[in-house]
Amino acid sequence: VRAFESVGSTNDVLRQMAGDGAPAGTVVVADEQTAGRGRMGRQWQAPPGSSLLFSVLFRPDLPAGDVYRLVMACGLATAEAAEAAAGRHVDVKWPNDLQIGGKKLAGILPESAIVGERPLWVSAGVGLNVNQAFAAGDPLHETATSLRRASGRTLDRAVLLAQVLARLNVWTQQIGREVLLDAWRGRCLTLGQRVRVETPGGAVEGVAEDITPQGALWLRDEAGQRHRIAGEASLRLP
């Protein structure tokens, strides 16, 4: 684990280290990001020292199409550690958000270098809201939560990181197994819901029926037609 006071983005630091040959299991964690990135080109912002911002490096022996399983492993590991710390159930929202009570607790940004059909490396950047207040008046009050807000307790981020990594060690050993997919599906509140997904080809609305082992979402629209939506789409409740 390499810890920094301030970086642009932990994903960017880890990408550089991956290119320089860093081994699988390398973790970059920072107190502050000055250019934190979210999915779909968004920014990821957190006050310095308030949340857990880290990226984990994998060098998986997997086909490129299966790297989403690492996102599932990170999601489950973070959810379990967060749940134990806050004493509140943590849901997964497809494709890679964690929520408590319908509010966003954490997000995961996967990035990879693919050569031919194999990933040379994959990084998963996790942003977990730990000690933010998100009090009334905060622009994120309605949509975001933190472990402190959910539990009423201020938490030690280093202890939390150790717990996430311990659970990640367990889940990465299940990477090719159905148990990983089942656990992820079991936490996924998107399944069974009516949702609207913005895709590069336009919006699709329907009931979320299943998640594929590659992390795509199966939606059934009102005409009964099934749509397979890849993980980079953006999901909204209609």
Return residues touching ligand BTN (CB under 6 A): 9-11, 33, 36-39, 42, 44, 53-55, 97, 107-109, 125-127
On the CB side of 176, CA atoms within 13 Å amount to 4
User: By C-beta, is 6 or 173 nearer to ligand BTN?
Assistant: 6
User: By C-beta, is 11 or 172 nearer to ligand BTN?
Assistant: 11
Q: In whole angstroms, give the CA distance from residue 109 to residue 122.
A: 11
Q: In whole angstroms, give the CA distance from residue 78 to residue 147.
A: 12
For the record, the structure tokens of 207 come out as 């009931």
Phi, psi of 162 (to 5 degrees): -60, -40
User: By C-beta, is 116 or 139 nearer to ligand BTN?
Assistant: 139
Provide, rounded to whole angstroms, the least separation between the CB of residue 29 and ligand BTN.
9
User: By C-beta, is 161 or 174 nearer to ligand BTN?
Assistant: 161
Alpha helix (H) residue ranges in the chain: 10-19, 68-86, 147-151, 157-172, 178-187
Provide, rounded to whole angstroms, the least separation between the CB of residue 97 and ligand BTN.
6
Provide, rounded to whole angstroms, the least separation between the CB of residue 130 and ligand BTN.
12
Provide, rounded to whole angstroms, the least separation between the CB of residue 177 and ligand BTN.
26
Residue nearest to ligand BTN (CB): 107
The single-letter code of the amino acid at 10 is T
Provide, rounded to whole angstroms, the least separation between the CB of residue 232 and ligand BTN.
11
92 within 8 A of 104, measured Cβ to Cβ: no
Q: In whole angstroms, give the CA distance from residue 132 to residue 180.
A: 30
User: By C-beta, is 53 or 160 nearer to ligand BTN?
Assistant: 53
User: By C-beta, is 10 or 172 nearer to ligand BTN?
Assistant: 10
Provide, rounded to whole angstroms, the least separation between the CB of residue 180 and ligand BTN.
20
Q: What share of the chain is helix, strand, coil (3-state, %, to 5)?
A: 30, 35, 35
Q: In whole angstroms, give the CA distance from residue 118 to residue 231.
A: 19
1 within 8 A of 27, measured Cβ to Cβ: yes
